[in-house]
């Protein structure tokens, strides 16, 4: 049994001893808090509140602050507030460490939230390392028909990868997240957790997969590719490195026109 479960059962027991008390502490009077405090006072010192998460404390314990001894309440408030601030600062510092010529740590924080299905204004809940696997200007091959051979040699069978693409004559950044393994068998990878996106100044378009059966395309002659040309990297017969964007397997079209790309990087995302 976790410590938060211990707390919840003790509160439940206290309410059972006083059936006239409301179940919602936000509606308690001072006298009702006093009744519950008298019932539970012998148990409260036995609970290891420090083992709770900040979220558990603020959501499950703080509404009952009136039944906690004053010194204990002040100590716990200080503990969880300071720890929460340190945790957020730690996540921010760690996210700055990325070997990229395209994205900054602010982009890393936003993408980390998308991976955890959080909103852009939500607090980070996980700390990720973005480990550079492939940089096209460093690792790419030059052949016409095997242009993306090195990408597949390096990144195939790697899961939880992020592709970041720099376009020619544009500040816009294009990218996609693939939680499953890349392959080279011209198959479609199945996943419900992939997404593609575009970033431009303070604006972004986030598009999550709609047809999970065709979330990823494992084309031998293509770079990292998502959906049915929702985001494809290819090389034209004229030798141009081309980004193709359509809207088929994903919720939104992230770019209205195709473009030439100058660089792309692939990172493996690991829990820090």
What's 149-183 look like in SS3? Answer: HHHHHHHECCCCEEEEEEECCCCCEEEEEECCCEC
Cα 98 vs. chain centroid, distance in angstroms? 16
Last residue of a domain, one of 57, 91, 125: 91
Q: Quick check: is 76 in a domain?
A: yes
Question: Which pLDDT belongs to residue 240?
Answer: 84
**Stretch 40-47: mean pLDDT, rounded?**
92
C-alpha span between 196 and 206 (Å, rounded): 6
pTM of the model: 0.66
- Do 205 and 114 have their domain in common? yes
- Cβ pair 176, 84 in contact under 8 A: no
C-alpha span between 180 and 224 (Å, rounded): 12
**Among 238, 265, 259, 264, residue whose Cα is nearest residue 168:** 259
- Do 147 and 267 have their domain in common? yes
Question: Which pLDDT belongs to residue 87?
Answer: 60
Site of tokens 């395309």 = 217
Residues found in the chain: 272
Question: Which pLDDT belongs to residue 38?
Answer: 94
| Percentage of the chain lying above the pLDDT 90 cut | 61
Last residue of a domain, one of 91, 115, 144: 91
Strand partners, 203: 200
- Do 120 and 254 have their domain in common? yes
Question: Which pLDDT belongs to residue 216?
Answer: 97
| Domain carrying residue 204 | 105-271
Tens-digit pLDDT profile for residues 120-161: 888 887 888 899 999 999 998 877 667 899 999 999 999 999
- How many alpha carbons fall within 13 Å on the CB side of residue 76? 24
Is pLDDT of 258 > 80?
A: yes
Question: Which pLDDT belongs to residue 85?
Answer: 58
Tens-digit pLDDT profile for residues 70-122: 888 888 888 877 666 556 555 554 545 688 999 988 899 899 999 999 998 88
C-alpha span between 10 and 245 (Å, rounded): 56
- Do 213 and 117 have their domain in common? yes
Is pLDDT of 179 > 80?
A: yes
Q: Quick check: is 66 in a domain?
A: yes
Question: Which pLDDT belongs to residue 93?
Answer: 46
- Do 183 and 226 have their domain in common? yes
**Stretch 22-48: mean pLDDT, rounded?**
91
Number of domains in the chain: 2
- Do 156 and 34 have their domain in common? no
- Do 150 and 112 have their domain in common? yes
């Amino acid at each position: 049994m976790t410590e938060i479960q211990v707390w919840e059962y003790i509160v439940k027991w206290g309410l059972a001893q006083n059936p006239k008390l409301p179940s919602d502490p936000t509606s308690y009077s001072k006298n009702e808090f006093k009744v519950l405090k008298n019932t539970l006072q012998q148990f409260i010192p036995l609970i290891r509140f420090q083992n709770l998460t900040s979220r558990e404390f603020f959501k499950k314990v703080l509404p009952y602050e009136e039944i906690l001894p004053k010194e204990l309440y002040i100590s716990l408030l200080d503990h969880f507030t300071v720890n929460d601030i340190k945790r957020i600062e730690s996540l921010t510092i760690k996210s700055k460490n990325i070997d990229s010529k395209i994205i900054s740590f602010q982009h890393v924080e936003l993408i980390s939230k998308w991976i955890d299905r959080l909103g852009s204004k939500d607090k980070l809940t996980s700390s990720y390392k973005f480990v550079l696997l492939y940089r096209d200007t460093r690792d790419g091959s030059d052949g016409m028909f095997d242009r993306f051979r090195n990408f597949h040699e390096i990144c195939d069978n790697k899961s939880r990868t992020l592709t970041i693409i720099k376009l020619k004559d544009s500040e816009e950044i294009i990218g996609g997240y693939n939680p499953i393994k890349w392959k080279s068998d011209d198959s479609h990878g199945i996943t419900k957790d992939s997404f593609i996106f575009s970033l431009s100044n303070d604006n972004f378009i986030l598009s999550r997969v709609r047809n999970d059966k065709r979330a990823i395309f494992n084309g031998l002659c293509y770079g990292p590719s998502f959906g049915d040309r929702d985001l494809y990297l290819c090389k034209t017969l004229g030798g141009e490195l081309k980004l193709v964007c359509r809207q088929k397997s994903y919720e939104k079209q992230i770019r209205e026109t195709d473009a030439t790309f100058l660089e792309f990087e692939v990172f493996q995302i690991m829990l820090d």
